[in-house]
Amino acid sequence: MDIPFLYETLLKLLTGVPLTLQLAVSSLGLGAILAVILALARLSGLRLLAWPASCYVFIFRSTPLLVQIFLIYHGLGQFHGVRASFLWPILREPYWCALIALTLNTAAYSCEIVRGALLSVPPGQIEAARACGMSSFTLHRRVVFPLALRHALPGYGNEFILMIKSTALASIITLMEVTGLAAQLISESFRAIEILIVAAAIYLFINFIVTRLVQWAEYALSADLRPPPAALEQGGAL
Amino acid sequence: MTDQLKPAVRLTELRKSFGAFEVLKGISLEAMEGDVVSILGSSGSGKSTMLRCINMLETPDSGRIEVGGEAIQLKQAGGRTRPADRHQLQRMRASIGMVFQNFNLWSHMTILENLIEAPIHVQKRPRADCVDEAEALLEKVGIAEKRNHYPAHLSGGQQQRAAIARALAQHPKVMLFDEPTSALDPELVGEVLRVMRALAEEGRTMLVVTHEMGFARDVSSKVVFLHKGAVEVEGSPHEMFAAGRSDCFRQFLSGSNGLR
Ligand SMILES: Nc1ncnc2c1ncn2[C@@H]1O[C@H](COP(=O)(O)OP(=O)(O)OP(=O)(O)O)[C@@H](O)[C@H]1O
Ligand SMILES: [Mg+2]
């Protein structure tokens, strides 16, 4: 093994990590907001809101992310209306196209996670909140979302990991994140295996951290599922 | 309990249908301040629905609901009745304490957090006051040592006492109980009934849907018997249990597990 080469490759690929993380974090954040809106629309009971949301989820879950990225990057430019619009400076940038595609895609998946989590909130606890005079906003902020978050976290952790890996597809529209840099190095050095192993190790490490963070959050939010502190102190006796 | 001739709750001609099925067929009912009204009736007679109309967890199709002399404003919209003023509704709900059959404590909050939630986030009272008061209430219902536990760590009886304390923490004008002991193991019923008796002795206004005949007879100032969505008979517990003024009610009493 050529350790110095691997080390050199690692240093080069690490410069792509900020872009990888930026794409993942931004798309997950924006996607989460969109997902909550979509889930609330689907659960609203109003067909005018629920139906478009369902269509959206169906379309973005049923088509490959790679195709979505291509369509947004290459496809939108075909329309004169888009090229003439004020959005064109954004839509012709590969960065924004990748971010938009990743966001729209994760929103569709997360919508289903959020919807399931909202449905899991016990109706009795919502009723108790209404009965004590909470506004709809307070009710969601204090009761519904905290309970739904606890339910969504394991599934959402999965989505975090998937999105970290999905950012690799942004390299196809010339973004120099970890995979983009790896592809570039391969074309210069033709040492594909070594470079790809280093790239894989970087993703592995990022996702190791992400997994740990999700586990920590799950633990922090599940005090009610563990034995009470007194039971632990007294050796299980209540 | 002395009547001060101020109605704490007054329901007038309350009607409610689910689809074609009319559950409440024009119910009128009055509870004076300090009254303990026991609401009896067989399953499906509309007891829960009536109680839930008082704080608008169900919206009646027609009729009038007054709590503490103030009527809940209703409006007709799109062929349905709805609360007319969201803020009024929220304010009125905050003045009505509700105790559910299944406790419905917020499972992600400790018992203390459950008690201070509405006082802080609905009534906007200072946190320190709310905590002091909540601790006193937990002391009163006998679960002070559980303040930092989560609902899942409490027995049913303890959860229900916590739920009663949660309702009390809002300084309600009226307390509504919907079968507060029905989900409990028999040996836990007593501890909840004791708390409710203590509240009655304090002169709290309470509307209690219950199958506990002993409580209805000994504690209430008035017993109301619902049958098929209408008030069949009502009267003092003495009148109701001694004479059994309606055939229906007599039948109901003999069918229930008697006077415990
Ligand atoms: N949300 C609802 N939708 C349709 N029907 C309902 C609904 N809630 C109650 N009902 C019906 O209304 C009737 C009265 O219900 P309610 O819960 O008020 O009875 P209850 O007197 O409280 O009975 P129980 O002693 O079993 O609690 C029942 O026949 C019930 O099936
Ligand atoms: Mg009922």
The complex's ipTM works out to: 0.91
CATH number for region A3-237: 1.10.3720.10
- Rounded to the nearest angstrom, the distance between the alpha carbon of B49 and the centre of ligand 1 is 6
Q: What is the mean pLDDT of residues A172-193?
A: 92
Contact B90 A134 (CB under 8 A): yes
pLDDT at A238: 43
B149 inside 8 A of chain A by CB: yes
Residues having CB closer than 6 A to ligand 1 are B 18, 23, 41, 43-49
pLDDT tens digit sequence for B47-62 = 999 999 999 999 999 9
The residue in chain A having the minimum alpha-carbon distance to the alpha carbon of residue B166 is A132
Exposure of A149 in the CB half-sphere (CA atoms within 13 A): 16
- Rounded to the nearest angstrom, the distance between the alpha carbon of B52 and the centre of ligand 2 is 10
If one compares B169 and A231, the residue with the highest pLDDT of the two is: B169
Sequence ranges of the domains in chain A:
3-237
pLDDT at B257: 54
- Rounded to the nearest angstrom, the distance between the alpha carbon of B210 and the centre of ligand 1 is 15
pLDDT tens digit sequence for B114-127 = 999 999 999 999 99
Mutate to test the pocket of ligand 1, among B16, B40, B47 (most ligand atoms within 8 A of CB): B47
Whether B186 has a pLDDT exceeding 60, the answer reads yes
If one compares A232 and A49, the residue with the highest pLDDT of the two is: A49
pLDDT at B242: 79
Max CA distance (Å), chain A: 73
The region of weakest confidence among A14-23, B152-161, B212-221, B248-257 is B248-257
Whether B244 has a pLDDT exceeding 90, the answer reads no
Contact A133 B150 (CB under 8 A): no
A3-31 burial code (b ≥16 CB/10 A, e <16)? eeebeebeebbeebbebbeebbeebbebb
Q: Which residues in B lie closer than 8 A to residue A224 (C-beta atoms)?
A: 107-108, 150-153
Tokens (6 digits) for B224: 């109301």
pLDDT at B255: 75
Hey, what domains does chain B have and what are their CATH numbers? 33-57+86-255 (3.40.50.300)
> Model-level pTM?
0.87
Q: What is the mean pLDDT of residues A168-180?
A: 93
The 3-class SS string of chain B reads: CCCCCCEEEEEEEEEEEECCEEEEEEEEEEEECCCEEEEEECCCCCHHHHHHHHCCCCCCCEEEEEECCEECCEEEECCEEEECCHHHHHHHHHCEEEECCCCCCCCCCCHHHHHHHHHHHCCCCCHHHHHHHHHHHHHHHCCHHHCCCCHHHCCHHHHHHHHHHHHHCCCCCEEEEECCCCCCCHHHHHHHHHHHHHHHHCCCCEEEECCCHHHHHHHCCEEEEEECCEEEEEECHHHHHHHCCCHHHHHHHHHCCCCC
Q: What is the mean pLDDT of residues A133-139?
A: 95
B114 inside 8 A of chain A by CB: no
Q: Is A143 exposed, middle or buried, given 0-12, 13-18 or 19+ CB atoms closer than 10 A?
A: buried
Cα distances from A93 to residues A48, A64, A67, A89, B40, in angstroms, run 33, 21, 17, 7, 70
The residue in chain A having the minimum alpha-carbon distance to the alpha carbon of residue B53 is A131
Assign B1 a pLDDT band (cuts: 50, 70, 90): very low
A223 inside 8 A of chain B by CB: yes
B106 inside 8 A of chain A by CB: yes
Under a CB-based contact definition with an 8 Å cutoff, are residues B224 and B234 in contact? yes
Q: Which residues in A lie closer than 8 A to residue B59 (C-beta atoms)?
A: none
Paired strand residues for B37: B207, B222
Assign A235 a pLDDT band (cuts: 50, 70, 90): very low
Assign B153 a pLDDT band (cuts: 50, 70, 90): very high
**CB-defined contacts A:B, below 8 A:** 81
Name the residue type at position B69: G
A46 inside 8 A of chain B by CB: no
Whether B237 has a pLDDT exceeding 80, the answer reads yes
Q: Name the average pLDDT for chain A.
A: 91
Q: For B57, which of A131, A138, A227 is closest by C-beta distance?
A: A131
Q: What is the mean pLDDT of residues B156-165?
A: 96
Contact B104 A122 (CB under 8 A): yes
Whether A236 has a pLDDT exceeding 60, the answer reads no
B122 inside 8 A of chain A by CB: yes
- Rounded to the nearest angstrom, the distance between the alpha carbon of B47 and the centre of ligand 1 is 8
Of chain A, the percentage scoring pLDDT greater than 70 comes to 96
Q: For B122, which of A125, A138, A230 is closest by C-beta distance?
A: A138
Distance from CA of B39 to the nearest CA of A (A): 20
Q: What is the mean pLDDT of residues B16-30?
A: 93
pLDDT at A232: 55
If one compares B6 and B171, the residue with the highest pLDDT of the two is: B171
pLDDT at A80: 81
A146 inside 8 A of chain B by CB: yes
Mutate to test the pocket of ligand 1, among B14, B16, B49 (most ligand atoms within 8 A of CB): B49
pLDDT tens digit sequence for A33-87 = 999 999 999 999 899 999 999 999 999 999 999 999 999 998 887 888 878 888 8
pLDDT tens digit sequence for A98-135 = 999 999 999 999 999 999 999 999 999 999 999 999 99
pLDDT tens digit sequence for A206-220 = 999 999 999 999 999
